[in-house]
Structure 1
Amino acid sequence: MVFTFSSIALPQMNLSVDDASWYGSIPSFGSPFGSIISGLTIDKYGRKFSLVISIIPTIIGWVLMCLNFGITTIFIGRFLTGMISGSLLVGQVYTAECVIVNHYHLRNSFTMWEPLSAAFGILLTYILGSLLPYENVAYITTIVTIFSLLGILLFIPESPHWLFNRGLIKKAKISEKRLNIRQPILQDLNIILSEDFNLKSCLQSIKTGIRKLRRKDVYKPLFIMTTWCTSVMYTGGAALNAYMVDIISTSSHENILSDYTEYRNVSFRYDLSIISGVLILLAVILASSFVTYVGIKKLFFFSSFNAFIGLVALTFSLSYQSLDKNQNVLNMIHVISIWLITFFYSFGVITVPCSILGEMFPYDAKGFASIPVMGLCFSAAVAIKLHLYLCSYFGAFTYILYAFVNLANVIFVYFLVPETVGKTLEEIGERFLK
């Protein structure tokens, strides 16, 4: 699993209100392009190649932000660094195929390494941002990302599953030995060598993809994961993370961005950001510990229920902020409800669907996992920008809308999403064939 700071938000600079709004959402617009690239390369050129190609734009983006030639250059850099968050399926696929083969009972804990490293990166960067100038933070993240690339090139072998599927049996055995896989994949894997793996024509590749889409173990998880990943971004967590400090600081639900300029005290904003980073990191650590024992569905249900409570409490606190009576109690409810939503959003609401992407698709169709990632990234960008308009139209009841989306997701997951804990990747695929 790659450890990198590339998908996180740098500390806010001295930007205008409109620029600050775009600064927070631009990485979300870059993410779909990362998912497209990884989707096109992961099956044809391999898991390792996709990891490498996903980090290169990130390095370029960080270098542009280090140079800091102007706001346009910074925005381009933000766009490029956001691309790697669209490539999260590559790490999930590699982990599912190579890292946890000897420990199937811990598979779901291991698949949360990626959100765990991202949560740690968020927290560390907020801490660095409170101590160092913006340019110095960018220099540090550039160096970390370059070392990540070198680590992949030097120490990570290609997936034996992919090599075997391509007919490269000798290389697959070498890779399997380097990974110290005690239960050889080449003996257990039931894959028919594809006749089209040598096809170089783009048209033939498209036809191959269409043929795969006719399979139940491809189009069923594609529909389920795309719907789930798209809808989960409208549960309020993405918008709250983007505007958290402003929502906490504001005295009412109206004109969140207009209140932005009123609360520009740097130390205050960093204190809240660091607390947020601690909550996110703690949530992912606990989720990775509990998921093996309770399962992904129960973890998601528990998180969604608590996020629902937090959204209702936030609506209540915002609706009565204008009252002088019991104002301190309302302010306390206001802040605690936001921390509650933030914690459980990272504990399971967003972490669970992202962590099982690499498990839901068959070995020869992992590239289709880029489509749910693309939907997630587009939805994140839309949800962040749409939040301000919803607040201006619905006011505090915007968060009630988010709460009902949470309930709808619970119903969807209960009936359609299979439990993955305690099942092999082959068993998960057979579930869709029935």
Structure 2
Amino acid sequence: MMKPNFRTDAPRPVAAVLLAALSLIVLTLWSLPVAAQPKPQTQKPAPDRGISKELSAQDAARALSLVQTLPGQTKRFALIIGVDQYSDPQVVGLGGAANDARLLADSLVRNAGFPADQVVLLASDQPEERKPTRGNILRRLSNLAAVVPKDGLLLFSFAGHGIERNSQAFLLPSDAQVSDDVNLLEQTAINVVTIKDWIRKTGVSQVLLLLDACRNDPSAGRAAADNPLTKNYMRGFDFDVRNREVQAFATIYATEIGRRAYELKEQRHGYFTLALVEALRGQAANAKGEVTLASLVKYLQDNVPRRVLLDLGQGKVQRPFAVVEGYRADELVLSVKDPKAVAQVPLNSRRAKPSEPPEEQTSSSGISRDAGLVGTIWTGDNPQSGEFTIKFLAGGQLTYLVNGIENGKQTMFATKGTWKQVGNHIRIVIGN
């Protein structure tokens, strides 16, 4: 099986690979670069010289220091931005960016272990204080800089328009003024370097970036024209791991250099975000049910191009790619697939808040059929979905409650399920 292509244009040398007992460990950038790939050697190495023997002590140490786990839930923060509507009449609006932002914010809480109150959503369909204006975006970045712990994770996602002027790349907030004058753009749009500087000022050790800012041309009268991703966007979101700007980062782009991203108009979503959320929900899970950074990128690269081709036809190409440094991508677990099922919960481990249970029914063996569960409430904490509540109902039915985000506010989502006593355990099935 081929690894996903994590970079199509790599300005840094390809990292060395350490074999033997370490298996396959990527040192600096786990990728299959194309444009910057070094020329192959014409002379075969001597039989007694393996790759592992040629590694410097510094490279070997770097291989062992790759980050393999995300910080704990309480240290995960996210700023999710979706801009559909622009105040400048010169800017053509979009149809799915705000929907993408809401869908992603909800998935981070439900599937990726982000606390709901640590996911900040700014989108065109939100109340005034959560509109994706330049001031709101910069203020939220400033607020995050004060609260994100140094050993934490900051995820930044932007869906909307982006433009390039004089080799400088800008993201367009809802109140941006589009112009060829870079000075005006510096005051009304957001230079990608500014985003990077704000993130760097947090001092956070791990950074994840999701960028879908290259859809159609934002200028009025050119809405059908492509707005391809450029190298300047990439350079703006590269962090220097070797000089400790961050310990590890991954930037996932909705499309590759020279290409644009597309929206699925009937669903009012981008192809990129739809596939991304599918992956987090478990479609990209490996045999252990884990969605790793590597499996997520591979899922995007397998599914987005195929769906765009099927829906839009030949000549329409969108292939996401990622720049990854400091992470062991094939080990970094982003979410765990919820099997809808089957939790075996020891009876003596539950934390119940009993109400008035009905009279217990007993079998011929003398063991309680419902163990006194009807009318009780269990609470707990799931690494992926956060705090949950289970209400046990009569007839083997239950209600599963978990926190989520809707319209920018924390809310409780309910799912039906069933339960059954199996020996000294309770078998719980969530969903149908």
What TM-score comes out, normalization by structure 1 length? 0.21
More helix by share: 1
Q: Which has the higher contact order (CA 8 A, sep 6+)?
A: 1
Larger Rg: 2
What TM-score comes out, normalization by structure 2 length? 0.21
